[in-house]
Amino acid sequence: MSGRIDGKVALISGGASGIGLATAERFADEGAKVAVTDINIAKGQELVTELREKGHDALFLELDVVDANSWRAVVGKIQEEWGRLDILLNSAGIGRAHPLLEMTLEEWRQTTSINLDGTFLGTQAAIRAMKDNNGGSIINISSVLGLIGLPNVSAYAASKGGVRLFTKAAAMECAELELNIRVNSVHPGYIETPMVMRRFNKSEEQNAIDIKELGQQHPLGRLGQREEVAGLVLYLASDEASFITGSEFVIDGGYTAK
Ligand SMILES: NC(=O)c1ccc[n+]([C@@H]2O[C@H](COP(=O)([O-])OP(=O)(O)OC[C@H]3O[C@@H](n4cnc5c(N)ncnc54)[C@H](O)[C@@H]3O)[C@@H](O)[C@H]2O)c1
C-alpha cells in the first residue's frame, strides 16, 4: 500500500486536538511516521495509542512551543528514532478574544508568544534538522485573521498576520540558501474544533442557533471541518507541491472572498 507521503517523518505541534489531530491521522494514513507533540500529554498519548493500534508508526513527545530547548530536544529525539525530519506542521495555537482597550500586555504577549514565537522556534529547529536530509516541507497554520481584522482579536490577528509574513520570509531564505525546504501558510476560516466550539457555552438550543449563524458568515453556509484543512496540509507536505513555497492558502468557504 503506498501513501502520498510514504516513509516521510512528520512533526506536528498542537497535535493532540483539532486541526493538528486530524492532520496526524491523515499523515499516518498516507504512510508517514508521525511525532505528535503538545502540552496536553493525556490527549496526545491517547491519539498515539490509537494510531499505533491501527499499525502506524507514531510517538508522542511533550512540547511547549514557546520553549526553544524543548524544540531542540523533540527534534533530536525524532532524529534519533527515525533518522530524519521531512515535514513540520506548526498547528499549536490559542485563540482568545480581548477588547483592545482592556487587553493587558501580558495577554497580548501570551497570544503572540504561542502563535508567533512558537512558529518561529519550530521553523528554525525544523530547518536545522531538514538541512541534514536535503529538504523538507514546513506548513504554518495562520488564519483568515492573518489576512483581515475583526473587533476584539487584535493580538490574535497580529500573531497570525506575523505568521503569514514570517512564512514568506523564511521561504525566501531557504530558497536563497538552496536548502530545498518549502515553507507555506494555511489560512482557515472557522473550523469545527475545540478552539471554536468551546465558545458556544449557552443552552443547547441557543448554541445551535449561534453555530448556524457563524457558519452562515461563510458563503458555503457552514463551518469548516478539520479533515478539510488536513487535506490541504497533506497536499503541501507532499511532493505534489514541489513547486510551491512562500505561498498562502486560504481555506474558508469563501469567508474572505466577499
Ligand atoms: N479552529 C479554527 O476555526 C481555526 C481557524 C483559523 C486558524 N486556526 C488555527 O489552527 C491551529 C489549530 O487550532 P485548532 O482549532 O485545532 O485548536 P485546538 O484548541 O483544537 O488545538 C490546539 C492545540 O494546541 C495546543 N497548544 C496550545 N498551546 C500550546 C503550547 N504552548 N505548546 C504546545 N501546544 C499548545 C493545545 O493543547 C491544543 O491541543 C491554531 O494555530 C489556530 O489558531 C484555527
Q: Is residue 28 part of a domain?
A: yes
The domain that holds 14 is classified in CATH as 3.40.50.720
Residue 178: inside a domain, yes or no?
yes
Distance 215 CA to ligand 1 centre (A): 19
Asked if 163 and 70 sit in the same domain, the reply is yes
Q: Residue 2: which pLDDT band, with cuts at 50, 70 and 90? A: confident
Number of domains in the chain: 2
pLDDT in tens, 184-212: 999 999 999 999 999 999 999 999 999 99
* Domain-located, residue 36: yes
Is 4 domain-assigned? no
Q: Are residues 167 and 214 in the same domain?
A: no
Question: What integer pLDDT is reported at residue 251 of this predicted model?
Answer: 98
For the Cβ of 138 lying below 6 angstroms from any atom of ligand 1, the answer is no
Same domain as 210, residue 181:
no
pTM of the predicted structure, to 2 decimals = 0.98
93 shares its domain with 184: yes
Measured in angstroms, how far is the CA atom of residue 136 from the centroid of ligand 1? 23
Q: Can you give the three-state secondary structure of the chain, one letter per residue?
A: CCCCCCCCEEEEECCCCHHHHHHHHHHHHCCCEEEEEECCHHHHHHHHHHHHHCCCCEEEEECCCCCHHHHHHHHHHHHHHHCCCCEEEECCCCCCCCCCCCCCHHHHHHHHHHHHHHHHHHHHHHHHHHHHHCCEEEEEECCHHHCCCCCCCHHHHHHHHHHHHHHHHHHHHHHHCCCCEEEEEEEECCECCHHHHCCCCCCHHHHHHHHHHHHHCCCCCCCECHHHHHHHHHHHHCHHHCCCCCCEEEECCCCCCC
196 lines ligand 1 (CB under 6 A): yes
The model's pLDDT over 31-60, given as tens digits with 9 standing for 90+, comes to: 999 999 999 999 999 999 999 999 999 999
Q: What does the pLDDT look like over 143-152, one tens digit per residue?
A: 999 999 999 9
213 and 166 share one domain = no
Pair (153, 200) in one structural domain: no
- Residue 162 CA to ligand 1 centre (angstroms): 16
**64 CB within 6 A, ligand 1:** yes
Q: Is residue 3 part of a domain?
A: no
Residue 132: which domain range? 9-189+227-250
